Structure 1
Amino acid sequence: MLQTDKLYTGLTWELYKEHVKKFSHAAVKGLPTPDEMKEALAAIVEDATVKVLAQEKVGMVVQFHWMDTYRALDVCEVADVKGFLTQRFGGGKFKLNLYHGINFLSTKNWETEGPPIWKGLIRAPEE
């Protein structure tokens, strides 16, 4: 298990906070304390992944293209998410999804500037 406060400052933490805000118990019981959230994230982060999808509007339809999947531990220290996306995929609209195993937890959208490098990187769907 990762024993560092860096887990609670970057991309994985942002996505996990989105999950907690939308979790049904939060509406009834209120948000957990920051320490409770940190403990819960630390318990799942080794089995969590972040999936990057690029959004493309084709006529009236919005398509999402799978770009890559990262271990949540590998991106937990990414503080500049837009810079991370721009460096790898260029400009565009991106959806980042957090999963614990096969279970979807949350999503957050980012938009970056620059040429759409991602169009040349479109991958086949995961098997």
Structure 2
Amino acid sequence: MMDTGSTKRNVPPWLYKLFTGHQYPYVRRLAKFAQPVKPGEDRPEPTKEMIEEKFWEVYPRCSAKILQEVKSGMIVVFHELGEYPPGGYQELVDHPEEFLAKTYGKKKIKVNFYDGENFVCTINFKVAGWTEHEGGH
């Protein structure tokens, strides 16, 4: 059994909120369904502690995918720019804007997080002061 106390690093508030907030229910749902259920009763909503515990179970095994958002006429398409294994994107977590700007330049970027094949959450960045008119038109 791993000592989870030593594996916990500080994660920035934006990341914790992204993983545990109401917009993306993956972590909350896992926390909810981890609870025992009494016959005839609904599972209670998970406590803050249960959600945090589930976050620390899920987050360390998540990979990240970096996509560029490109407007093509009336539709938006996403080009995959890079993929990072679990634990392989600490700089992205600590300094997302700087990391994305340095690695990929000025772009509209979407970062998706996955737990294995399961989509967990996504966040968009307009990197390095990216503006619509810089689309190369």
* Fold shared, TM-score > 0.5 on shorter chain: yes
Distance, in Å, in 1 between the alignment partners of 2:66 and 2:14 is 12
Matched, 1:4 2:23: no
1:22 aligns with 2:36: no
More strand by share: 1
Report the TM-score when normalising by structure 2.
0.64
Q: What is the one-letter code of the residue matched to 2:24? A: K
Letter of the 1:85 counterpart: L
Cα contact 1:91–1:112 (8 A) shared by 2? yes
Alpha carbons of structure 1 residues 88 and 39: separation in structure 2 relative to 1, 3 Å: same
The answer for unaligned runs of 5 or more in structure 2 is 33-43, 131-137
Measured on the aligned residues, the alpha-carbon RMSD in Å equals 3.0
AA at the equivalent of 1:9:
P
Any idea what the Cα deviations from partners look like across 1:65-86, whole Å, max 9, x if unmatched?
A: 0011112422246322111110
Counterpart-to-counterpart distance in 1, 2:90 and 2:15: 5
Tell me: CA distance 1:12–1:89, structure 2 relative to 1, closer, same or farther (3 Å). Answer: same
**Secondary structure of residue in 1 paired with 2:7:** coil
Amino acid at match of 1:17: T
CA distance in structure 2 between the aligned counterparts of 1:80 and 1:99, rounded to whole angstroms: 20
| Matched residue, 1:44 | 58
* TM-score using structure 1 length: 0.68
Which sits farther off after the overlay, 65-74 or 95-104?
A: 65-74
Structure 1 stretches of 4+ with a deviation exceeding 3 A read: 10-15, 29-32
Cα distance change, pair 113–9 in 1 and its aligned pair in 2 (3 A):
closer
Question: 5+ residue gaps in structure 1?
Answer: 116-127
Larger radius of gyration: 2
